[in-house]
């Protein structure tokens, strides 16, 4: 640990070890009379955490916390979102968005423990994360100051940041020709910047992808899997009981191998602009798909329909950093009530980027063969349909009669 002045005020930095936060430690030391405490919240970044402590201390931090919250992230944030069915703008499975609340919560906990005056983050002034971090911090500890260097300093691009590192001999694990802005956790990895900033460019997937392969490189034979859920929560994969974290980890490998879950999206950011990125969510895509297939079997028409409406709003709240809000909590309460009967097994076929249903079963299934079969059963009388159609179509018939009457007049 570096020598520190015990009388100095403290700032907690959300630290990743990447380009921005490496620069920020040095910048904070130069521009503020703070002791910088780096905090890396582990939500499944994997090898990105290797060598992090040495890098943080050599950059000027007094200490580094590495807080493993992977299990809580999956159980309390990922699964809650999966059960809601939330997908932002029909494509984005909210990988970065879901992680920001728990990261913010841990930053606040350590700031209070250390007696820090402020929390600093490396989100840019054009991005979504500044909103997500700051809304969460305000909701949890409104007394803490927030420092956002990208809204203050003269650095205006990743190239400027790399030049800053070169000027002060700060080591960073990237170069100018490979400085995609990436965010990784157990759920996904995102890629933004460089050639992706031009929507007309096709992504160079062979060099870009890190969790997945392209469909062309996926196996020529399909992969079958079976998942079991209990009240909307996955509990088994291929008949083996395991934690949600273990299930997601295995699904990432299976899905990535089969080219599942790669999307290219132009999305509407919170701050008003459109941005383009490529996201890899192999295991999450399978999990969403399996959960939805079971809901088709177990939820009645009205509940399924209204839940779709809730899903859109839930996605907007998560995307916009409004996790710690009364509305999100209320929507989660509704969602969880719908999941009481979402229990059963789902089989899926994975093949070259595609997911195909291969059967589902549940003790709470609302599918009744006696009713649905083309063979007449005791529970359904074909003659009943005539009266139903007459009543259901009555408004149409009355309107047509009115139109015809006006034509003749």
Instruction: Choose the final residue of a domain: 145, 179, 213.
Output: 179
Residue 24, helix vs strand vs coil: helix
pLDDT of 260 above 60: yes
Residues 225 and 285 in one domain: yes
The β-bridge partners of 88 are 92
20 among known catalytic residues: yes
Residue among 224, 193, 174 at smallest CA distance from 23: 174
Domain boundary among 149, 179, 209: 179
- pLDDT score of 174: 64
Quick one: what percent of the chain has pLDDT higher than 90?
Answer: 83
Q: Mean pLDDT over all residues of the chain?
A: 94
pLDDT at residue 377 greater than cutoff 80: no
User: Does 350 reside within a domain?
Assistant: yes
Known binding-site positions for L-citrulline? 92, 97, 128, 132, 181, 190, 267, 279
For residues 375-397, one letter each, b for 16 or more C-beta atoms within 10 angstroms of the residue's C-beta and e for the rest, the string is eeeeeeeeeeeeeeeeeeeeeee
Q: Which residues have CB under 8 Å from 4's CB, separation 6+?
A: 35, 62
Q: Which two tokens stand for residue 255?
A: 């899905």
319 confidence band (pLDDT: 50, 70, 90): very high
Domain annotation covers residue 90 = no
DSSP H helical ranges for 68-171? 70-72, 79-84, 95-114, 129-140, 158-167
Radius of gyration of the chain (CA): 26
Any domain includes 33: yes
Q: Which of 55, 100, 158, 328 is catalytic?
A: 100
Instruction: Please indicate, yes or no, if residue 88 is contained in any of the structural domains.
Output: no
Has 275 been annotated as catalytic?
no
Please confirm, yes or no, whether 158 is among the known catalytic residues. Answer: no
Residue 368 placed within a domain: no
On whether residue 373 sits in a domain, the answer given is: no
What are 357's two structure tokens? 């249903």
Q: Are residues 290 and 151 in the same domain?
A: no
Torsion on CA atoms 73, 74, 77, 80, rounded to nearest 10:
-170
The count of structural domains within the chain is 2
Q: Is 212 in the same domain as 348?
A: yes
Q: What is the pLDDT of residue 72?
A: 98
Alpha helices in 147-243 (DSSP H): 158-167, 205-208
Do 111 and 47 fall within a single domain? Answer: yes
- Of the given ranges (32-46, 69-83, 171-185, 315-329), which has the lowest mean pLDDT? 171-185
Q: What is the pTM of this model?
A: 0.92
Looking at the predicted structure, is the pLDDT value of residue 5 above 70?
no
What CA–CA distance (Å, rounded) separates 199 from 204? 13
| Domain interval for residue 307 | 189-361
Alpha-carbon span 232 to 295, nearest angstrom: 9
CA distance 401 to 390: 15
Q: How does pLDDT run across 277-288, given as a tens digit for each residue? A: 999 999 999 999
Work out the number of other CB atoms within 10 angstroms of the CB of residue 372. Answer: 11
The residue-averaged pLDDT of 364-382 equals: 77
Q: Could you tell me if residue 320 is left (phi over 0), alpha (psi between -120 and 50 degrees) or otherwise beta?
A: alpha
The pLDDT confidence band at residue 175, using thresholds 50, 70 and 90, is low
Pick the residue with more confidence: 170 or 186? Answer: 186
Q: Are 56 and 38 in contact (CB under 8 A)?
A: yes
Whether 20 and 156 share a structural domain? yes
**Same domain for 212 and 166?**
no
> In the annotation, is 100 catalytic?
yes
Do 328 and 355 belong together in one domain?
A: yes
166 & 285 share domain: no
Give the pLDDT mean for 340-355.
Answer: 98
User: Among 264, 248, 251, which Cα is nearest to 205's?
Assistant: 264
pLDDT value of position 121: 97
Phi, psi of 321 (to 5 degrees): 80, 20
CATH code, domain carrying 346: 3.90.1260.10
The DSSP line for 379-409 is T--TTHHHHHHHHHTHHHHHHHHHHHHHHH-
Is the same domain home to 213 and 148? no
My answer on whether 31 and 121 are in the same domain is yes
Mark whether 172 and 247 lie in a shared domain: no
State pLDDT tens for residues 96-135. 999 999 999 999 999 999 999 999 999 999 999 999 999 9
The confidence score (pLDDT) of residue 1 equals 44
Residue with the bigger pLDDT between 194 and 284: it is: 284
Residue 370 in domain = no
Provide the pLDDT for residue 380: 80
Q: In this structure, are 193 and 286 located in the same domain? A: yes
Which residues on adjacent β-strands are paired with residue 184? Answer: 189
185 and 230 in contact (C-beta within 8 Å)?
no
Percent over 70 (pLDDT), the chain: 95
The catalytic residue among 20, 55, 179, 328 is 20
H/E stretch holding 334 reads helix 326-338
| CATH number reported for the structural domain that contains residue 27 in this entry | 3.40.50.620
The label of the residue with tokens 């910088």 reads 36
Q: What is the pLDDT of residues 384-398, one digit of tens each?
A: 899 999 999 999 999
Last residue of a domain, one of 138, 153, 179: 179
Question: Which one of the listed residues 58, 181, 246, 320 is annotated catalytic?
Answer: 181
List 55, 129, 136, 158, catalytic entry: 129
Residues annotated within the binding site for L-aspartate are: 124, 128-129
Question: Helices 19-31 & 52-59, crossing angle to 10 degrees?
Answer: 30
Pick 230 or 166 by higher pLDDT.
Answer: 230
Which tokens hold the place of 26?
Answer: 């040095």
Q: Which residues are annotated as a binding site?
A: 14-22, 92, 97, 122, 124, 128-129, 132, 181, 190, 267, 279
Which residues lie across from 150 on neighbouring strands? Answer: none
In a domain, 341, yes or no: yes
């Amino acid at each position: 640990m570096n020598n520190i002045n015990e009388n100095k005020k403290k700032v907690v930095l959300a630290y990743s070890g990447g380009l921005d936060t490496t620069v920020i430690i040095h910048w904070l030391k130069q521009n503020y009379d703070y002791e910088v405490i780096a905090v890396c919240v582990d939500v499944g970044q994997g090898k990105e955490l290797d060598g992090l402590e040495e890098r943080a201390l050599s950059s000027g931090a007094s200490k580094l916390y590495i807080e493993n919250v992977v299990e809580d992230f999956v159980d309390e944030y990922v699964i809650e979102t999966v059960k809601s069915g939330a997908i932002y703008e029909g494509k984005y499975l909210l990988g970065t968005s879901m992680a920001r609340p728990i990261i913010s919560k841990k930053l606040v906990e350590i700031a209070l423990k250390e007696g820090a005056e402020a929390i600093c983050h490396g989100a840019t002034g054009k991005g979504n994360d500044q909103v997500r971090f700051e809304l969460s911090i305000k909701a949890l500890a409104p007394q803490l100051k927030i420092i956002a260097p990208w809204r203050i300093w003269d650095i205006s691009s990743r190239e400027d940041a790399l030049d800053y590192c070169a000027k002060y001999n700060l080591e960073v694990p990237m170069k100018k020709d490979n400085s995609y802005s990436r965010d990784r956790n157990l759920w996904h990895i995102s890629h933004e910047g460089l050639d992706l900033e031009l929507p007309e460019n096709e992504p160079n997937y062979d060099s870009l992808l890190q969790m997945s392969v392209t469909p062309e490189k996926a196996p020529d034979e399909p992969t079958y899997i079976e998942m079991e859920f209990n009240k909307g929560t996955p509990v088994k994969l291929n008949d083996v009981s395991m934690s949600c974290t273990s299930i997601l980890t295995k699904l990432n490998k299976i899905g990535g191998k089969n080219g599942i879950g790669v999307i290219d999206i132009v999305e509407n950011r919170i701050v008003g602009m459109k941005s383009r990125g490529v996201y890899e969510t192999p295991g999450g895509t399978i999990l969403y798909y399996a959960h939805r297939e079971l809901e088709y079997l177990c939820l009645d028409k009205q509940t399924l329909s209204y839940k779709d409406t809730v899903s859109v709003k839930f996605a907007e709240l998560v995307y916009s950093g409004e996790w710690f809000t009364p509305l999100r909590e209320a929507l989660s309460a509704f969602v969880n009530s719908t999941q009481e009967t979402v229990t059963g097994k789902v089989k899926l076929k994975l093949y070259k980027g595609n997911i195909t249903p291969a059967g589902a079963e549940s003790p709470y299934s609302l599918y009744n063969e006696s009713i649905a079969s083309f063979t007449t059963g005791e529970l359904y009388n074909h003659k009943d349909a005539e009266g139903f159609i007459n009543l259901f179509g009555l408004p149409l018939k009355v309107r047509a009669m009115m139109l015809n009457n006006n034509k003749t007049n």
